[in-house]
A and B are shown apart, each in its own frame.
Chain A
């Protein structure tokens, strides 16, 4: 039984035609179900828990990465099957899972290719893909056993799987089903000199838990959502999310 959660922004006029096409296609495929619309004072958690009591087994989000971030915790806790129909801007997560935008996503939903993947937990809140901390100097304590410190400013990423698949990053593809999060630290260690080529060291640590500390609060992006703190506690929850995926996924 399907349950559709529409994000607030999908109720704008510019998405009306696309939504109509999506609903028609879902009807043709026999995938219609109840619909809930998120609003400023309406939390998705309440809707979903209520519907679980009525027998819902699949929750489908109609929206973007921010919509997914809002409902991820409750979907994983209730062990529901999770689907996405990407609409609007910033759909990197859906892209990484191989789900096309708009009406085409309905056919992916119908194909029902299911994968159980790990999720990460950052300061008590779940994320699917990665936590990204831009250029800064932080200290990473790994599994309470050892500390890793970049000697210069660098970017830190804690990945369940990678959003991107360009030439260099493809060499660092992470596996979202291995029970580990890959901590990737990129530091420019070249000496500053005119015309000298930049040299970047890429450190890679497979971890299950880590703590990232900074003397001052820094901004981290968890699946695109901005979080500011001086301390980030990150852990993996192995095989905690069942998700419908497409053929063009990055893992």
Chain B
């Protein structure tokens, strides 16, 4: 997630059988975007965005679309509703204009949110499990990037 500047838009070795999509800076996407794999966005997206796996919205990204994902980490600008089945992580640089729903939510200090957050019925064990799984996944990615660097 926190890649060095040079590697920010370079995709690391693809895991076998998974189709990862990267929308880098300098590119804009319009329409109904649907993916079966992980999606990384640093560019502009308008329309709708649906992924069956995880979504990572970078600091430079600007999204004017409704989002549906398994898990999401948002560090950029989103104008639209966000629906996440698992965990939603909002970084300090994010700007969200829209409603959100997720099983677990983590908000960093500095995040700008203008909308409603729905979490369904409270399930502490489920929420705890989802948050720790997401943190472990991102920490593993960070370690891999550091090793490669």
Count of chain B residues with a beta carbon within 8 Å of a chain A beta carbon: 27
A203 vs chain B, min Cβ distance (A): 4
A200 within 8 Å of B (CB atoms)? yes
Cβ proximity bits A146-160 to B, threshold 8 Å, 1 near / 0 not: 111111101000000
B20 surroundings in chain A (CB, below 8 A): 204, 206
How distant is the Cα of A173 from the Cα of B11 in the complex, in angstroms?
10
> Which parts of B9-38 form the interface with A (CB within 8 Å)?
9-14, 17, 19-34, 37
Asked if residues B43 and A201 are in contact (CB atoms below 8 Å), the reply is yes
- Chain A positions 223-247 with a Cβ under 8 Å from a chain B Cβ: none
Chain A residues with Cβ under 8 A from B22's Cβ?
A: 202-205
Measured CB to CB, the nearest residue on chain A to B7 is: A171
| Contact residues in A for B17 (Cβ distance below 8 Å) | 178
Decide if B110 is an interface residue (CB 8 Å cutoff): no
Q: Which of B82-123 contact A (CB under 8 A)?
A: none
| Residues of B with C-beta under 8 A to A187 | 24-27
* Cβ–Cβ contact B26 & A171, under 8 A: no
Q: Is the CB of A154 within 8 A of B11?
A: no
Instruction: Count contacts on A: residues with CB < 8 A to the other chain.
Output: 28
Nearest CB on B from A192, distance (A): 13
Q: How far is the CA of A147 from the CA of B27 in the complex (A)?
A: 10
Number of A-B residue pairs with CB-CB distance less than 8 Å in the complex they form? 82
Judging by beta carbons under 8 Å apart, are B25 and A145 in contact? no
Contact status A149-B31, CB under 8 Å: no
With the chains together, A135 CA to B19 CA distance in Å?
A: 26
Interface of B is mostly: loop
Bound complex: CA of A147 vs CA of B46, how far in Å? 10
Give the chain A neighbours of B54 by CB distance below 8 A.
none
Q: How far is the CA of A150 from the CA of B28 in the complex (A)?
A: 6
Using CB atoms, name the residue of chain A closest to B10: A171
Does A189 belong to the interface (CB within 8 Å)?
yes
CB-based contact B12/A203 at 8 Å: no
> Given A168-B10, A202-B9, A148–B21 Cβ distance below 8 Å?
no
Q: Tell me whether A31 is interfacial, beta carbon within 8 Å.
A: no
Does A188 touch B at the CB level, under 8 Å?
A: yes
CB pair A148 B10 closer than 8 Å: no
Contacts of A200 in B (CB 8 A): 9
CB closest residue in chain B, given A149:
B28
Q: Is the CB of B24 within 8 A of A171?
A: no
Please name all residues of chain B whose beta carbon is closer than 8 Å to the beta carbon of A22 when the two chains form the complex: none
CB neighbours of A185 from chain B (8 A): 24, 27
Let me know if A150 and B27 touch, CB within 8 A.
yes
Let me know if B31 and A145 touch, CB within 8 A: yes
Contacts of A199 in B (CB 8 A): 25
Pairs of residues from A and B, 10 with the lowest C-beta to C-beta distance, nearest first:
A146-B31, A201-B24, A189-B26, A187-B26, A206-B19, A201-B25, A201-B26, A203-B24, A204-B22, A189-B25
With contacts A151-B27, A189-B24 known, what are 8 further pairs, Cβ within 8 A?
A: A199-B25, A200-B9, A201-B25, A201-B42, A201-B43, A202-B9, A203-B26, A204-B22
